[in-house]
Structure 1
């Protein structure tokens, strides 16, 4: 019996989520993969890349309108803006432009996977109900994550394809040039602390050091995303995806400090976006001193995102049991995840 052809369109293929998704699909071996991003990429094996401006409806139609073989859309694109309200128009436009261009051409389209997050629960606004569950009511708009799901729900009515909404916590993985990469924040902050002979101080709000948190490993997230997109039980469902364990920074921070052979000092609230703004010359000198890979400081800086995560002086976790009830049983040890990613950065000469 001939196996049905599976063609994945990964939207946002150069981000930490998209890259890990492309890698996972490649490892599975039975997918053809098309990666979309603004800057494109190098075509290798069953992976080809398309450079497209998804904010431009015309460019999207021209570049994507011929993708008739696509069976699954994995949407993980994101545009940053200064305010919550300003996030809505560009992030809605990109999703709409993708669906408007691909859906009419791809007659065999089976599924659209939407990457969301805990913003659906208002986690970015302040203390929220924990553990958050997929059935929790939406909060007061604006919120593009909710708008995107409602768009897919409307579009799917009467169609043969289905959708899923994937809701990870903070996603950690090996990636460069990503504005939301907590692992890179910790790696560069630790390396610079070591270079300056300073202890590793937790820089967040005073109440954030002892609150309960969880993370989502990018590799785990990729597996869960493909599972939800290909298991018919998951049709038209949302799933929280997290590592499966909880931690507090006051326990995790000393273990991270040990990786850098650093002492831990009393936490000191400070904006990394401010105190790390003048460290580019130091970073450049470290590249030369330690023969590091020549990555520009801007490509290893996610200080604003670090400030955001370290400001959570309230519990930040969601109930992941729905995914388990539907059949996904993978998990990741968060301490090991952090240490493995830091070791990968060191192995690849990104940090000393």
Structure 2
């Protein structure tokens, strides 16, 4: 078995964390995780804490990683506007490549995590199902800038790149700004605690529009597949569970898991209505014997507002990956229920 060494950038996020677990399970990978907070080393996994916006610190942190064969880039820094997202997110990727390329002579592949912003999903209704070959939209868009950077850099390099484009990613993980499953789980748990029904909080049109999800475990499998097969070289792939749904049908099933009634949707801003719920959450920790999780690390209500505002179809065509050989499929309803049960089993929610 040939041993490979991966550098997982953004190791503490839902995507990076699940990717590390998948790499561990394969048995032929050594893993180095990069994040601002670092992590706990175990087995063939070690963590490095570094501020990727600091080019010198990044170079110092990676200078001994001569065995790296694959870079899996899933780091992200949020900013208030789309234009402000470009400089930090492009700089972090640039700093990582600048640091690892000179010291890792066996570097084979750089994997880039993207999303539907490439298609303009964040701007409004876009052509669906979105295809990897769709024409670009007016910038700014850091996902596009990052891919163009890799394309330029790869022209004179021996390594190849791939870009994965998941829909909304769902998995178990705290402190991540883009974890919709955690948003829903905490919102539903608090609704139950308050003795109120579960109401869809988004725009009315979002309740009936088509949407799809990407399971974090499935995404990890797709990421490694694209990075280690001929089909993945210098290609972008949409990666989804393989089904689509409307919140109008999914919401009652989520409510049933939490033993809640469903009331008609009521548009509200979660970032506002959940701002005063820290005392409620702390009381739930004590009453239900939950893991003591700071309210600030619990969920990103702004991300929930973002997703629940999509009053248009948000779907892509994932047939390109299937034609290339990736055939994994996940039932989205089963995925949600599994994640909620995992959160309960870990005593993160009651």
Name the TM tier (shorter chain): over 0.9
Q: TM-score, normalised by structure 1?
A: 0.99
Unaligned runs of 5+ in 1: none
- The structural deviation recorded for 1:163 is 0.3
Residue ranges of structure 2 left out of the alignment (5+ in a row): none
Q: d(CA) in 2 for partners of 1:21 and 1:282?
A: 33
Q: Does 1:67 align with 2:65?
A: yes
Aligned match of 1:327: 325
CA distance, structure 1, for counterparts of residue 335 and residue 3 of structure 2:
34
* Match for residue 308 of structure 1 among 306, 309, 329: 306
1:180 deviation in Å?
0.9
Q: Tell me by how many angstroms 1:232 deviates.
A: 1.3
1:146-295 alignment, distance < 5 Å: 146-295=144-293
Aligned CA-pair RMSD: 0.6
Which position in structure 2 is the counterpart of 1:12?
10
Deviations 1:235-275 (A, max 9, x none): 00000000000000000000000011111001000000000
Stretches of 4+ aligned residues off by more than 3 angstroms = none
Distance 1:286 1:29 in 2: 39
Measure how far apart 1:233 and its partner are.
1.9
Secondary structure of residue in 2 paired with 1:257: helix
Q: Secondary structure at the match of 2:275?
A: coil
TM-score, scaled to structure 2: 0.99
Within 1, Cα distance between the matches of 2:299 and 2:156? 45
Distance 1:233 1:218 in 2: 21
1:5, distance to aligned residue in structure 2 (A): 3.0
Residue in 2 aligned with 1:50? 48
CA distance in 1, matches of 2:156, 2:177: 37
Question: Match of 1:297?
Answer: 295
String of CA shifts for 1:272-299, please: whole Å, max 9, x gaps: 0000000000110111111111111111
Residue 347 of structure 1: CA displacement?
A: 1.0
- 108-117 vs 296-305, which moves further: 296-305
- Supply the distance in 2 between the matched residues of 1:63 and 1:300 (Cα, whole angstroms): 29
Which residue of the partner structure matches residue 133 of structure 2? 135
